Structures are given as C-alpha cells and as structure tokens.
C-alpha cells in the first residue's frame, strides 16, 4: 500500500493508494494570531475604538478576552493612529502600523488583513476580532478556534440567532407591493415554534492563510453561534448607552474575581478631591469634598469593604486629615514615596492579597499599585500614564463623583459575582 502525507493549512492530507483523507493537525505547531483592526478615522464616532465604555477603552474589552483566552501565539492591533497604538500596547497587544494605502475610508478589512499576512508570513491562522464587540468572552474564541484546529474547517465566523420577519423593501414612490421574504403571512409562526435565522453578528472571523489569500470565507466554512446577549456591535453614538448596560451585565471582566475585594485604597488629592487646596487670608487650608463621593464610601462600608484614604504629607495637613477621617468614617494614612511598599504593609496587617484590594489613583506614582490591584480606577481627567495602568476609567472627573462611580462599579461586580456563585451552587445541587 503506497502512502504519503502532505501538510495543508487546514490540516494534514494523507494520500493512500491515490485516495485523499483529511486529518486534524495532530499536535503539530501552527502560529495562530489574533488581529483587531482599529483605524483612527472612524466617521460615526471619532476615535471610537479607544472611547471609554463602562470604564474600559472599547478595544480593551476584546483585547482582554483575546489575551486571557490563551489560544493565540500573538495578539495584534492594526492601526494608523498613535493614541490607539498606546492603548493597544497597554492592553497587551503588539502593533502593526498599517500603510496609508490600507488606511483610507475606502479601504476594506480584507485589504488590511492581506497586508498583515504578507508582512507576517509565519502566521497560519488569523482570528480577526471586531473591536466593536465588547461582550466577547475567552470561551467564545476557544470553542470557535477548535473548529479549525480540531475539525479542519478553513473559515469560521460568529453568528447570532434572530427571530425577525423580513419583508421586501419598496423604494419611495414605487407602486409595487411588498412581499414576505421568510414567512407565510397566513400562517405566522409563534416565536417558540420557529428556530429563527442565523445572522453574522460581526464579533470575529477566523481564517486560514490560504482563505485570506483567496478573499476570506472560502474553503470549508463553519459558523459559531453566540447567544444574543453577547452579540453587541457599536456603530453609532446611540448604541453607546445600550452597549454600556449590556457590557456591565454580560461583559468579560478578566481572570481576577472582583467579588473578593475587601479593601479600597483611595487617593485623596486628585480622586476624592479635585487636587486644589484653598488657602484663606489667615493661612487656613481647606479642601472641597463632594457628598456624592462620601455617599459612595459609605455604600462600600455597609457592604463590608474597608476604605482607607491615602495622601502624601505635602498634600494634606494633619488637621485636615483628622477632619476628613471624622467626616467619612475612614482611616486616613499619609504615605511617603514608597506607596507600593506602604500599601503592602497595610495589606499584610489585614492578611490580604492584591486581588482582594481595589486601588484608586491619579498619576505616575500610583502606576505600580494600579497594575497590581485586583480592581483599579482613575478619574477621567487623570494623565494618560495612569489611565493606561488602570482597569477602570471613570466617566466623572476628580472631586465630582469619580469615587462614587468607582464604588458603584465595585458593588456591581460583587453583586454580579454573587449571583454567578449562587447559580453555580444551583447547578451543582441539580446534578
């Protein structure tokens, strides 16, 4: 019996006595890359790809899912804009600076993807993830990729099931009657009696290199069905508030479990206050604290989260620190230059780990703590270096509700996690 094996991008082909049989990759290493296209010239929403959605730059949601999926040999953002490049790198991606030829309004996704594969010939499979799909989870990517790596498909795309009755469009002024496209009007089905239709939801498209060279979605096709609640696509500003509510409920918030947060370390200057110190004619120093922020602190305290307000000795006199402690019911700590070391000492006193700590900072000295904390945030007006290190960027500025907003975010995630834990308990008891 004559036998030979040749490798293809969709798997192996074993030729036995002239007959071809297709096999899985059988463990041989291939390079799988995630690619997010993020041009700076969005016409619908300027710099949409890095606009903050529920505290995270829009592109950050899909980058977090891609990186945490651990399915990719490399994760890339293709862009022509410096600010998008900075955000992409802060969220763990490598950057492909696309050429002017594929950065025009008329340029297609295919043009950019083909340029990327030409410049990176070692990549066998490209997963094109849409930046405008913030409810993507790592398990979606893992399961979809297995259709290529384990089942030999060459093109996989995400779909969602819709139950919409469609009718033929009639142009204005036309005299032709419309007609149904997918129903019999005399026998309209109930929703529960109709499976609906599968429609692309735009979350991701996965292709082997060969199908990209041929023009995408070629060869052996397969779809990956996502539940409707995960199918969010943002094109215009009116989508933003709807998407934000959906993301807070169904988005992916990372590998860390925020429900264990037991301590919030919050900077006074530049977070709880706007950073200004008012000096009276007699030399008395004053600061302004918003009641929305103090209410947020009390909300956390009622839920068992300890709040410690931190400040440098230069920012706050002892008299002001004592008054603020009395007003908020929080311990006020005046720290030196080693903020991370002193924060760690406070955690050790309470037998806490970084994953159990939320941190709110506002500038370069806070970057290490922002990176280490299980949850971290900055006000909207914080410098870029702090924004890139934080896991949440508030819509509100310092001294005007940013602390209240972050407090609500912490409590929302705790509530979401508690609900999931209860659901897991129900599932375990059921089976």
Residue 152 domain-assigned (yes or no): yes
Residue 5 domain-assigned (yes or no): no
**CA–centroid distance for 351 within its chain:** 31
Boundary residue ending a domain (193, 216, 250): 250
Do 72 and 147 have their domain in common?
A: yes
Going from the C-alpha of 61 to that of each of 42, 92, 133, 246, 389, the distances in angstroms are 18, 12, 8, 13, 15
Structure tokens at 389: 């290190």
Residue 409 domain-assigned (yes or no): yes
Question: pTM of this prediction?
Answer: 0.68
Of 308 and 285, the structure prediction assigns the larger pLDDT to 308
Span 185-244, pLDDT tens digits:
888 888 888 888 899 999 999 999 888 877 766 778 899 999 988 988 776 655 778 888
Residue 69 domain-assigned (yes or no): yes
Query: How many whole angstroms separate alpha carbon 6 and alpha carbon 115?
Result: 27
Residue 71: the pLDDT is 95
Task: Write the CATH number for 129.
Answer: 3.90.550.10
Do 369 and 309 have their domain in common?
A: yes
Looking at residues 328-352, what average pLDDT do you find? 90
pLDDT band at residue 313, thresholds of 50, 70 and 90? Answer: low
Active-site residues, by number, are 188
Residue 241 domain-assigned (yes or no): yes
Q: How many domains does the chain have?
A: 2
Boundary residue ending a domain (193, 219, 250): 250
Boundary residue ending a domain (192, 219, 250): 250
Q: Which domain holds residue 38?
A: 32-167+177-250
Residue 10: the pLDDT is 39
Do 87 and 196 have their domain in common?
A: yes
Is 27's pLDDT higher than 80?
no
Residue 400 domain-assigned (yes or no): yes
Structure tokens at 394: 């508030």
Query: How many whole angstroms separate alpha carbon 388 and alpha carbon 390?
Result: 6
Do 233 and 289 have their domain in common?
A: no
Task: Write the CATH number for 326.
Answer: 3.40.50.1000
From start to end of 189-291, where are the E strands?
197-208, 221-226, 263-267, 278-279, 285-286
Do 268 and 225 have their domain in common?
A: no
pLDDT band at residue 43, thresholds of 50, 70 and 90? Answer: low
Range 242-279 burial, b when 16+ CB lie within 10 A, else e: ebbebbbebbbbbeebbbebbbbbbbbbbbbbbbeeee
3-state secondary structure of 205: strand
Residue 428 domain-assigned (yes or no): no
Span 9-23, pLDDT tens digits:
434 343 333 433 332
Do 114 and 228 have their domain in common?
A: yes
């Amino acid at each position: 019996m004559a036998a030979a094996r040749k490798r293809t991008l969709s798997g192996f082909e074993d030729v036995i006595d002239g007959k071809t049989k297709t096999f899985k990759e059988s463990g041989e290493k291939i390079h799988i890359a995630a690619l997010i296209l993020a041009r700076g010239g969005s016409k619908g929403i300027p710099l949409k790809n890095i606009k903050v959605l529920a505290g995270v730059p829009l592109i950050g949601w899909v980058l977090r899912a891609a990186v945490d999926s651990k399915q990719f040999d490399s994760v890339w953002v293709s862009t022509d804009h410096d600010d998008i490049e900075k955000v992409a790198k802060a969220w763990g991606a490598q950057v492909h600076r696309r050429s002017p030829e594929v950065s025009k309004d008329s340029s297609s996704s295919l043009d950019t993807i083909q340029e990327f594969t030409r410049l990176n010939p070692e990549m066998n499979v490209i997963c094109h993830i849409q930046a405008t799909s913030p409810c993507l989870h790592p398990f979606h990517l893992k399961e979809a990729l297995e259709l290529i790596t384990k089942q030999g498909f060459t093109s996989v795309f995400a779909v969602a099931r819709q139950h919409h009755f469609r009718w033929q469009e009639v142009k204005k002024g036309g005299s032709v009657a419309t007609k149904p496209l997918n129903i019999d009007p005399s026998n309209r089905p109930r929703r529960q009696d109709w499976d609906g239709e599968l429609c692309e939801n735009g979350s991701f498209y996965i292709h082997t290199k060969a199908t990209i060279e041929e023009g995408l979605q070629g060869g052996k096709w397969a779809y990956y069905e996502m539940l409707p609640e995960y199918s969010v696509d943002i094109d215009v500003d009116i989508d933003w508030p709807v998407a934000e509510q959906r993301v807070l409920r169904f988005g992916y918030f990372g590998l860390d479990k925020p429900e264990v947060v037991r301590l919030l370390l919050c900077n006074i200057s530049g977070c709880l206050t706007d950073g200004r110190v008012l000096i009276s004619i007699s030399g008395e120093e004053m600061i302004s604290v918003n009641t929305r922020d103090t209410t947020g602190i009390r909300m956390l305290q009622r839920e068992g989260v300890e709040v410690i307000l931190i400040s440098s000795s230069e920012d706050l006199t002892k008299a002001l620190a004592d008054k603020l402690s009395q007003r908020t019911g929080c311990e006020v700590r005046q720290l030196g230059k080693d903020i991370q070391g002193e924060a760690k000492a406070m955690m050790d006193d309470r037998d806490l780990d970084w994953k159990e700590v939320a941190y709110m900072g506002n500038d370069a000295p806070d970057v290490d703590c922002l990176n280490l904390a299980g949850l971290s945030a900055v006000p909207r007006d914080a410098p870029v270096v702090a924004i890139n290190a934080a896991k949440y960027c508030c819509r509100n500025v310092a001294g005007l509700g940013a602390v209240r907003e972050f407090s609500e975010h912490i409590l929302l995630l705790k509530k979401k996690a508690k609900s999931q834990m209860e659901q897991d308990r129900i599932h375990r008891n059921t089976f």
